[in-house]
Chain A
C-alpha cells in the first residue's frame, strides 16, 4: 500500500529537549516536504527536498532542520524546541514528473512543547 508514515503521532516534550520526527514514504518519490498546521493559518511549508542531499527552506524554517540521506526518508529535527513549535506536523511526498502538485500526506504528528 502506498503511504507516507510519520512517527511519533503524538509527542509531549519540554523546551530545549531535542527531538526528531521521522517520515518515510514507499512510493519512490523524489520530492518530500514538511508542513505545519496551525488554527487560522492553514498549512505552511517548513522545508522541502527535491531529491537525496537536496533540501531547501520553505516559508517557516526557523528552529527546524532536515536531512535527506536516503530517498525514502526525510526526518524533521527540532534541536531546541520551544512552545511556539507546538503544532500539527505533516510530511508529504510527490511524484513531480507524473503528478505535479498532488501531494501524498502522512497522518500527522501532533507535537506539544511545554
Chain B
C-alpha cells in the first residue's frame, strides 16, 4: 500500500542554519505530495504541495521538489528561525485520504 517515511527527530538547529527534512514515499501511480506543519497546541496547516514530478512547492522560505526517480520530497529551508519550531509532516494523496508520515519535530534555538 501507499506509505510515507520521514526521518526521525528531533532535528535541533541554531537560528539561521540550513534545514533538510527527508521524506520518501511508496505509492502506486503518481500522487500529489504535501508538507504540513503543526505548531504547538494547534492543528496541522498546509505548508506546501506539489502535484506532479519535478514540481517544486514553496512557501514561507520552505521548498520541496517532487522527485519521481528517487520517490522523494525533501523539505528544505535556507535559514531557519526560532518561529519555525514545530512538527513537520510529509503526506501523499491516496484514495479519499492523505497518508501521513510519522512527523519530524524541529527545534530551533536562538
Contacts and interface: CB of A to CB of B under 8 A. Distances in A.
Interface of A: 4, 33, 35, 40-45, 48, 50, 56, 58-59, 90, 92, 100-103, 105-108
Contacts, number: 52
Interface stretch (B43-51, B61-69, B76-84): B43-51
Contact of B97 (A33, A40, A42): A33
Contacts of B42: 107-108
A10 B32 CA distance: 33
Interface residues of B, number: 21
B19 to A, nearest CB: 20
A105 B44 contact: yes
B41 A58 contact: no
A106 B43 contact: yes
A42 B89 contact: yes
A102 B49 contact: yes
Given A90-B44, A107-B41, A101 B102 contact: no
A56 B97 CA distance: 11
A94 to B, nearest CB: 9
B103 A105 contact: no
